Structure formats: structure tokens, C-alpha cells
Amino acid sequence: MTIKWEKYLRGVYSFMMLSVGAPIFVAANQLQNSYPLILTIGILCLIVCCIPKKWVRLLLSLPVMIGCLFTYFPSKIFSLLWVLQFFSSVTEEFFHLSQGKLHYLPEKTAFFLILLLIYLFITLTVDYDYWYAPFLALMGYFMMLTVFREKELLYEMIAVVAVLCVYLAARQFFSIRLLSGNARFQSFTTILLICLFTFSAILPLYLPKVHQSLEETSEPIREYLNDEGLYDTLHEYQLTGSARTGFSENDEQLGGPLYDNGEVVFTANQKVNGYWKIENKNHYTGSGWVEDPDAPIQPIQEFPVDITSYQTVMEEKENITLTLKNQAFLPYPYGNTTLTDFSLASGQTLYYLPESQRFIPVPNESTRLASLQTERLAFTREELKSSQLEADDLENQQTNLQLPKGLPQRIEDLAIELTKNEATLIRKVEAVEQYLKTSGNFRYSKTDTGHTPKERDYVDYFLFDSKIGYCDNFSTAMVVLLRTLGIPARWTKGFTDGIRTGTDEQGNEEYSILNSHAHSWPEVYFPGFGWLPFEPTPSFANPTISQPAAETTEIVHSAEEQPKESENIAETISSEKPEAISSDNTTLTPSYKIVLFSLGVCLSVLLFFLLLFRKSLRWTSYLIYLHFFASTNAVAYQKLLHHLETLVPRKPAESLQAYSQRIEQTFDLDQRFIRLTAQYEAEIYGQQADPVKFDKKTYLELTHIIRKTVYKKVMTKGSSFKK
């Protein structure tokens, strides 16, 4: 294949590759009709392929690009004034971006930049055979849209790979057909290409098994990245606002992965740590939990206020101080708890919802201090053996026995099967709890939990199909299973212990409760004891027992979900979304400092060696090109010449023959570079009808000599090659 026709093949490849990305770019920037952009790509490819002089190309390409811009950002009349106004607008947007006034890329600027990139990629592919440049750029762009904008671009990625494979196959076919030399390498690459095609065709057949294996193998790594906040950072980019809190107001549709958020929600000064309750919900819909919008609301007029009361508590009373900022809730521990004081500014009111046991300050716009006094809940399973449900208990707890119509029968069948050998209330509750927690049938994962399919019950799908979930799945499943047995149960939300961060002046321990500590669990009614918490989620301890705070989950919500204050108090209480407190006291532990210091040292050393051996590394990349990609003499010589000119610059108006003489004197190449230069000139100036046979061996030998010489020069304090 001649150089001219090889350029046309590269031009077709550039057009096909970039055209795949055009509709995605247009849709991502909320523009209409991708055909003008595809037509522009085609015209630019034609200009670059047909016109050798780069300045002429640029002069012809600019009107084409301006015409494309006018198509997408039209005015009444196309004129020079429109061109000036457009570029003035782009310049102003660039200025705002540099000043940090814009936190996104405006569509005009984005479109202008994409046209420049398209022209650059076409030039790199057609003139320099950098076929991988548009491929890598498109794949990177698609991955960014997939991660940050949650777009499904699987078929587009397949199309990009298909275009690349077709181009490489066509290129390989013409190389084998027209070049008799280098047969071993051509045969090897052809076999490799066929193997890749075969692998691509067979892979979908085994994809489900591979996906499952990858999930199980990579779970510790993904959980670690989640704990470190990587997914939360990505999720913040996906949302139009930033992630605010781990506590969700809207639980109507449960399911989907969770992203850990390490921001502080509130701090607690206390002697003993434990779970923090926010509220409970009673009505299960089959997809989530809802609350009664007409539930009674009570304003708190004076303090102290008794919150909860239990018979089995610790004897020692404990004083707790909470610091909350912009939170639409008041957390409290299990036990005989009294709210002794709550700081309210002028115009602020604290409300209480008896049905959900929820406190809501309105408005929630400032930092508040809350003082609690509690006798912690303490009970043993042995004490609960005597507790049995009576008819009056069931009559009074009908709200907490509610189940949706159409609940699959197999859920009740499973509950009966689990408890058929148990006689007491506590044993039945424990049987369900242990089945979910320790049977081994279920896997706990925040990142792998999928969304419930439409028309499927949330609990049924978890118990019998996915069997992967986090606290919401396990707690809701336990509540529903118990209700099918006629045992009153309700769904409870709050936070786990938190992280111990220090000690105050009174000797109390200080805990920081983060968004990632948001959690849910079931409460079960025991006559004579009241509502007691249980914990079916694997790796979590009972809410009345302290546990490691690292194994917690959270629910992320967007800042846009924060409604404005309503004049109607009931509407405000049911709609307000809490915000997280940003931590001003974040410190690095010594281990983190060591890791960061070591990482900095390693990066500095790596950067030093990259700078020191940058010239030698450049020749290493050329060796890789010769081994795996080079097929024609002209292109290989052009790349060799380009690399040599970075070491020994050509003089103005210096001929190739004169330059080759200087290269021979510099590197002592035994006249081989002079012969390659003569062959190249004969080929490009038409003095030789047939393409010159690509002498791979000679190119490799010359490159090794030059590379070794460069390395020696670097090691002798960077001596120059220039003469």
C-alpha cells in the first residue's frame, strides 16, 4: 500500500472513530442533531488527507469549523460580527474558568475545544499514524461520562473497539499483501488479532460467571475504596449538588448502592457509646417505608422532656452533650432518656412526632447544643423468655403488623419454616435474626447492592434473588418476616456509635458521628419490656452494645433535595432535609502522615528519574513502535528522523543527506543511516516505483546504538549532542 493510500485509510479510520463520539458529545451538552458535527468531521478528514501543506489545511479548516459553530449556536444572520461575538464569549468564559467563577465547562467553550481536538486527532492519525490517540481519547471520554454522569455507553464503547479492530485488520491485510518482508512479525500480529476477535466473541457467553467472580474477588478492594471516600467523591460529581448527609428523609424507594461520606453530622460527649435513634417508621409499601403526613405534631414548650422509658436499665445516670449543626433531627440513645436542655434562638421551635418518636427543630439553620440525661437500656435474652404476646397486645399494635397487599406468599412460608420449632417470642425473633445475620445465605455489601426491579417486592427480591444488601435490606426483611408471623415490629433509623476523637475537661469521651455511620435496624415489641432493638445486619452488634464504628452505612442525598422552609409546620417537618456538619478539626493520624510522606518521596524520585532519562525513554518508546507497529519504511524513517532532530537539530535549509552525514559523525552508525536516508528520498520523490522493503533489523540496530549513546551522555552529566 502506497503512502498516499495509507493516508486515505487513516482518514477513513479517523472519520469512523470520531463519528462514534459525535452524538454522545452533542447529547451530553444538550444540543440538537449530531449530523452537522459528523459532516464537519468528514470534511476535516478530507482536507487533511488531500492537502499536504499544513497552513493551507488550517486556512480551509477554519471556515468549516466556524460554519459548524454557527449551526449549533445560530444568529439571525451569519456575519463577521457574529464570529467576533462568539469568540469574545468564549474568551470571557475562559477568563471566568481561570478565575474559578465557573465550576463547569460552558457549552460554547466545550464545543470550540472539541472542534480543535477533532482537528488535532485527525492530523495526528493521518500524518503521524498515531491511530491510538482518538481511540484512547474517546474511551476516556466515555468512561468519564459513565462515572460522573451515569450514562450507559456500553454499545458506543463496543462500536469504538470494532472500528479500531477493522482498521487494524485492514492495515494488516494490506501490509501482508504488499510487503513480502517482515513475514514473521506480520504472521504473529495477524494470529494475535484473530485471537482477540475470537476472545471478544466468546467472552459474552461467560460474562455472568466472570462478573460474579470479579465481584467476589474485588469486594475487599472496593469496600476499602468506599471507606476511603472514593465513591462518595464520584457521587458528588454525579449529583447536581453535593452530597449532604447520611440520613435520608425519603425512604419510599429503597435499594441501590451506597457511597460512604466522611463528613461529621454531630458530636457527642459521653461516658458510654451506643446507637443513636432518630425515628421509626411503620408503613411498608413493598418498595420502602412511608409515614403518615397527618401524624400529630407537638411543639415542645419547656424542658426537661422525657423521651423514652424502659424497665431494664443501668443504674448509673449519664449526662450527654450533643453538638448539632443544620440538622432536622435530634438523636438520642436507648434507655430512660430525658432532654434537659436544647438551645433555641429567637423564632425557633422544637417539635415532636409521637408516632415516629422524632424530634425536629424548625428552622434548622444554626449550630445547637442539646443536653441529655440517660440511664442506658440493658437487657439479656434470658430475661425475655417469659415475655409473650397476648390478644390485647396484638389489638393495640395493629399499626406495627401492617403488610402490603400482594406480598408474596413465600415470604410468610420462609418465616414459618424458620420458626416452626420455636415456642417463645424471643426464640422466634432470634431465629429470624440469626438466619439473616449468620446463615451465610446473604452477603453484606454497600457497593454491590442493586436496585429492585419494577413490579417486584423489595424484601422478596432480596431474600430470594439478589441476597446482597446492607442495613436497609436486612432490617426491612426482618421486620416483614416477623410481621407475617403476627409479631409487632417496626423499622428504625439513626446512627451507630461514631469515632472516638478525644476526651473533654470533665473526663467524658468525645465521639464524632459521620454521615457514613447512618444505619437502620428493627425494633420488636415485648410485653413488659417495650420496643427493643435487634441487629440482623452481618458484622454489626446489637444496638444496646457498643461496636466498631467503621462497619456502618449511609444514605446520600443531594443538596437540591433540601426544601425551603414552609409556612405550614407539618409540611416543613415532613419535607426538610438535614445537612451535614463539615469538620473543622480534621487531623491526619501519624500512619497517614507516614504514608503521605512516603508517597511524596516515591513520586519525587520517580519524577527525578523521568526527567533525567527522558531522552533515553523517548528512544525506548520508538523501540516498542518498531517491534509491534512499524510496517512501512517511510513512516519508520519519519519517526526516526523526528527523534533524532530532538537530539541534533537540523540547520536551516539543511538537506537530508547533509544532516545524515552529521548524524553518522555523532553516533558512528557505519553509513547505515545515510543508506536509509537515500532509500527514503528515492521513495518519496518517486525515483523508485515499488515501495521500499522495510528493513526492521537495520532500524533496530541503529536505535539500540543511539539509545546507548544517549544513556552514556545522560550519565556524564547531560552532555549535549548539538554540533
CATH, residue 473? 3.10.620.30
| Average pLDDT value for residue range 33-41 | 90
Residue 354 lies in a domain: yes
The larger pLDDT score, comparing residue 17 to residue 193, is at 17
Residues 549 and 422 both lie in one domain: no
Residues 549 and 654 both lie in one domain: no
Residue 35 lies in a domain: yes
From 128, 145, 179, give the residue that closes a domain.
179
Residues 557 and 533 both lie in one domain: yes
From 164, 179, 194, give the residue that closes a domain.
179
Q: Is 666 exposed, middle or buried, given 0-12, 13-18 or 19+ CB atoms closer than 10 A?
A: middle
Residues 473 and 517 both lie in one domain: no
Residues 314 and 345 both lie in one domain: yes
Residue 696 domain boundaries: 609-715
Structural contact between residues 137 and 18, judged by C-beta atoms closer than 8 angstroms: no
Query: pLDDT at position 445, please?
Result: 84
Residue 305 lies in a domain: yes
Say whether pLDDT at 572 is over 70. Answer: no
Residues 461 and 496 both lie in one domain: no
Say whether pLDDT at 656 is over 50. Answer: yes
Q: Which three cell numbers stand for residue 42?
A: 468528514
608-654 residue pLDDT tens: 555 555 555 667 778 788 877 887 888 888 888 888 888 888 888 88
Name the DSSP letter for residue 507: S
Residue 236 lies in a domain: no
Say whether pLDDT at 521 is over 80. Answer: yes
449 phi and psi angles, rounded to 5 deg: -70, 125
Share of the chain above pLDDT 90, in %: 21
441 sits in the region (left: phi over 0; alpha: psi -120 to 50; else beta) called alpha
Q: Of the ranges 121-125, 423-427, 704-708, which one carries the lowest mean pLDDT score?
A: 704-708
Residues 541 and 664 both lie in one domain: no
Q: Of the ranges 69-83, 342-356, 500-514, 606-620, which one carries the lowest mean pLDDT score?
A: 606-620
Query: pLDDT at position 580, please?
Result: 35
Residue 152 lies in a domain: yes
Residues 683 and 621 both lie in one domain: yes
From 484, 504, 528, give the residue that closes a domain.
484
Residues 370 and 438 both lie in one domain: no
Query: pLDDT at position 431, please?
Result: 93
Residues 536 and 507 both lie in one domain: yes
Q: Which three cell numbers stand for residue 447?
A: 457497593
CA distances in angstroms from 196 to 20, 176, 204, 633, listed in the order given: 21, 19, 13, 27
Residues 48 and 105 both lie in one domain: yes
Say whether pLDDT at 577 is over 50. Answer: no
Residues 497 and 460 both lie in one domain: no
Residue 334 lies in a domain: yes
Residue 192 lies in a domain: no
- Reference 184, options 696, 679, 636; nearest CA is 696
- Reference 385, options 423, 415, 417, 434; nearest CA is 423
Query: pLDDT at position 133, please?
Result: 87
Query: pLDDT at position 553, please?
Result: 39
Say whether pLDDT at 35 is over 70. Answer: yes
Residue 60 lies in a domain: yes
387 sits in the region (left: phi over 0; alpha: psi -120 to 50; else beta) called beta
Number of folded domains in the chain? 4
Mean pLDDT of all residues belonging to the chain? 77
207-248 residue pLDDT tens: 555 555 555 666 666 666 666 555 555 555 444 333 333 567
| Average pLDDT value for residue range 154-166 | 85
